[in-house]
């Protein structure tokens, strides 16, 4: 008990991020409209922030925005096939963001700052070819190529920014229009080289794709910093997801963050895609960013994939070597994203039976900031469509996080094929929960949920395990799950249980 006169502080609410796209969403320019109509339902099921797809104009209206052409065109100018991006117009975007904020959802912008694509013309420049597996090793003497490196932005002109891009604004490219040869070309010039503040994979992993921006050039640095200020004035965002950060200067990115803090104010949520299975490399990056930066937990995704594809794998080791295990405050946990979804280059195969277990492991525990994938909630489109995963239960697990996943966490990681944990609740969020999962046969565990719950009748909120559990006078209950399954036990009278099962996954009929 608190001493007399000491007031109890409200329990901080659990937050959940939603990746608001998947790779194969139709290129019908209606995505912003559909999202605007969906945000109220997402908020009701426990979503607090949307990570939206790259909203800047790509090289075509079919591109997902990672083929970025013009940072200053959010679907406003007639360029690269039309006014709209794949996702819709700038007006559609602004209306969607405003609707999201009206219902209490923040928006994270996907900033693609490593490269440009869809150049308007070729330019001559001097290069050397480098070894694709060791970009520090030259394969040729210097010679001239005709590269797609001229960006004039004719639809926008000088509105918002007067800078046009030329060969000297880039450090590398991959195509010689003079002879049709594809290779990795390092562009030569006074003081030009690959950035030294990038990942050391392949010797130096500055070059990723398209025309690679050179942040040692003062015009590039100034233009992108000005763009960050401009963006905030156009779309009231709450944070930024930075794409491909291991491929461009970490020194520049740190400088950009400091610039935005100075010009706009601190408090942004910043997360980077540093897709790397080396925990040491990820921790080093976070330290270099002074712990103001979060990273997506790639090692956790690979653990999920490995465990789900290994018979009788050891569930107790699921967090070994993960970012959430080492740096929980800076870890964004996830099960899948647009790069690891089926048929993508980084596809991480997670067996369907394991998806619900994985989502419980990121949503119902105290550590990490979970990010839920659009394709697992609404399904995946394209030539090989897939329905929502987990039998459509992901929204219910998000709601369980919002309503019940509070208080002290007690782990029961005591058997390789069956683990569990409990959350005991708090004074103002008292319900608590008990989660048990198995990747083999059916199983059960006695787990402690607190004496304040004695006499309560708990049931599996997912509906996958029948029966009831009565909490004894000592605060313990016997909780069970089916074979290769998971159960989330909650007081059958807990507040909000009547909201389960109400989420509408039919997003494509809305626009």
What pLDDT sits at residue 266?
87
Does residue 117 have a pLDDT over 80? yes
Does residue 207 have a pLDDT over 70? yes
Strands 49-51, 106-111: pairing is parallel
What pLDDT sits at residue 231?
97
Q: In what order do the strands lie in the sheet with 457-460?
A: 409-412, 418-423, 433-438, 485-491, 457-460, 469-470
3-class SS of residue 277: coil
What does the alpha-carbon distance between residue 363 and residue 218 come to, in Å, rounded to a whole number?
43
State the helix-helix crossing angle for 250-263 and 218-234, rounded to 10 degrees. Answer: 40
336: number of Cβ within 10 Å:
28
Does residue 5 have a pLDDT over 80? no
Query: Among the options 92, 223, 243, 327, which is catalytic?
Result: 243
Active site (annotated) includes residue 243: yes
- Contact in structure between 272 and 241 (CB atoms under 8 Å): yes
- Contact in structure between 233 and 169 (CB atoms under 8 Å): no
133: number of Cβ within 10 Å:
10
How does pLDDT run across 490-509, given as a tens digit for each residue? Answer: 999 999 999 999 999 999 98
Averaged pLDDT score across all residues of the chain? 96
Consecutive H or E run containing 138: strand 134-138
Burial of 202 (0-12, 13-18, 19+ CB in 10 A): middle
What does the alpha-carbon distance between residue 447 and residue 462 come to, in Å, rounded to a whole number?
19
Query: What is the DSSP track for 219-273?
Result: HHHHHHHHHHHHHHHHS--SEEEETTGGGS-HHHHHHHHHHHHHHT-S--EEEE-
Active site (annotated) includes residue 367: no
Closest residue by Cα to residue 166 from 210, 119, 231: 119
4: number of Cβ within 10 Å:
5
103: number of Cβ within 10 Å:
13
What pLDDT sits at residue 2?
47
Query: What is the DSSP track for 476-488?
Result: EEEEEE-TTEEEE
Instruction: Name the phi and psi angles at 188, rounded to 5.
Output: -100, 155
Q: Give the torsion through C-alpha atoms of 397, 321, 279, 435, to 10 deg.
A: 10
Does residue 466 have a pLDDT over 90? yes
Calculate the alpha carbon distances from 256 to 249, 261, 431 in Å.
11, 9, 43
Q: pLDDT grade, residue 45 (50/70/90)? A: very high
Query: Among the options 73, 206, 273, 297, which is catalytic?
Result: 273
What pLDDT sits at residue 345?
84
Does residue 431 have a pLDDT over 50? yes
State the helix-helix crossing angle for 355-363 and 298-308, rounded to 10 degrees. Answer: 150
- Contact in structure between 394 and 376 (CB atoms under 8 Å): yes
C-alpha gyration radius of the chain: 25
HEC string of 450-479? Answer: CHHHCCCEEEECCCCCCCCEECCCCCEEEE
How does pLDDT run across 60-113, given as a tens digit for each residue? Answer: 999 999 999 999 999 999 999 999 999 999 999 999 999 999 999 999 999 999
Looking at the chain, the whole-number percentage of residues with pLDDT higher than 70 is 98
What does the alpha-carbon distance between residue 53 and residue 136 come to, in Å, rounded to a whole number?
33
137: number of Cβ within 10 Å:
13
Q: Name residue, tokens 């295990």.
A: 325
Burial of 189 (0-12, 13-18, 19+ CB in 10 A): middle
How does pLDDT run across 243-285, given as a tens digit for each residue? Answer: 999 999 999 999 999 999 999 998 899 999 999 889 999 999 9
Strands 294-296, 331-334: pairing is parallel
Strands 418-423, 433-438: pairing is antiparallel
Does residue 321 have a pLDDT over 60? yes
What pLDDT sits at residue 1?
39
Does residue 376 have a pLDDT over 60? yes
- Under DSSP, the state recorded for 339 is T
């Amino acid at each position: 008990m608190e001493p007399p006169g000491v007031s109890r502080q409200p329990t901080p609410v659990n937050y959940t991020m939603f990746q608001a796209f998947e790779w194969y969403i139709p290129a019908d320019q209606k995505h912003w409209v559909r999202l605007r109509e969906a945000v109220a339902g997402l908020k009701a099921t426990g979503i607090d922030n949307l990570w939206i797809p790259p909203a800047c104009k790509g090289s075509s209206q079919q591109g997902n925005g990672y083929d970025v052409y013009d940072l200053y065109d959010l679907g406003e100018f007639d360029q690269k096939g039309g006014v709209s991006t794949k996702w819709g117009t700038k007006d559609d975007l602004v209306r969607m963001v405003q609707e999201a904020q009206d219902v209490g959802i923040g928006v994270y912008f996907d900033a693609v700052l490593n490269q440009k694509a869809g150049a308007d013309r070729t330019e001559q420049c001097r290069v050397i070819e480098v070894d694709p597996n060791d970009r520090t090793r030259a394969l040729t003497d210097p010679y001239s190529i005709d590269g797609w490196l001229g960006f004039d932005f004719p639809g926008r002109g000088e509105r918002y920014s007067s800078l046009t891009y030329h060969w000297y604004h880039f450090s590398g490219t991959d195509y010689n229009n003079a002879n049709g040869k594809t290779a990795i070309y390092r562009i030569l010039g006074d003081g030009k080289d690959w950035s030294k503040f990038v990942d050391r994979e392949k010797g130096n992993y500055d070059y990723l794709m398209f025309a690679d921006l050179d942040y040692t050039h003062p015009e590039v640095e100034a233009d992108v910093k000005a763009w960050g200020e401009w963006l905030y004035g156009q779309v009231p965002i709450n944070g930024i997801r930075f794409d491909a950060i291991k491929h461009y200067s970490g020194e520049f990115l740190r400088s950009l963050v400091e610039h935005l803090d100075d010009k706009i104010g601190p408090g942004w949520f910043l997360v980077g895609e540093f897709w790397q299975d080396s925990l040491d490399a990820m921790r080093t990056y976070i330290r270099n960013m002074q712990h103001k930066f979060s990273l997506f937990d790639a090692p956790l995704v690979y653990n999920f994939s490995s465990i789900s594809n290994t018979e009788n794998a050891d569930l107790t080791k699921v967090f070994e070597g993960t970012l959430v295990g080492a740096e929980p405050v800076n870890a964004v946990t996830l099960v899948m994203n647009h790069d690891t979804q089926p048929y993508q280059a980084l596809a991480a195969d997670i067996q369907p039976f394991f998806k619900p277990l994985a989502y419980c492991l990121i949503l119902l525990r105290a550590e990490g900031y979970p990010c839920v994938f659009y394709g697992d909630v609404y399904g995946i489109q394209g030539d090989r469509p897939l329905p929502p995963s987990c039998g459509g239960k992901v929204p219910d697990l998000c709601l369980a996080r919002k309503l019940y996943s509070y208080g002290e966490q007690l782990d029961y990681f005591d058997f390789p094929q069956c683990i569990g944990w409990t959350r005991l609740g708090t004074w103002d969020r008292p319900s608590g929960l008990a989660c048990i999962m198995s990747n083999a046969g059916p199983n059960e565990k006695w787990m402690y949920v607190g004496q304040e719950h004695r006499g309560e009748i708990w049931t599996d909120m997912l509906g996958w395990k029948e029966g009831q559990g009565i909490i004894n006078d000592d605060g313990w209950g016997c909780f069970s799950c089916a074979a290769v399954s998971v159960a989330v036990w909650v007081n059958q009278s807990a507040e909000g249980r009547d909201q389960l099962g109400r989420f509408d996954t039919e997003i494509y009929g809305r626009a």
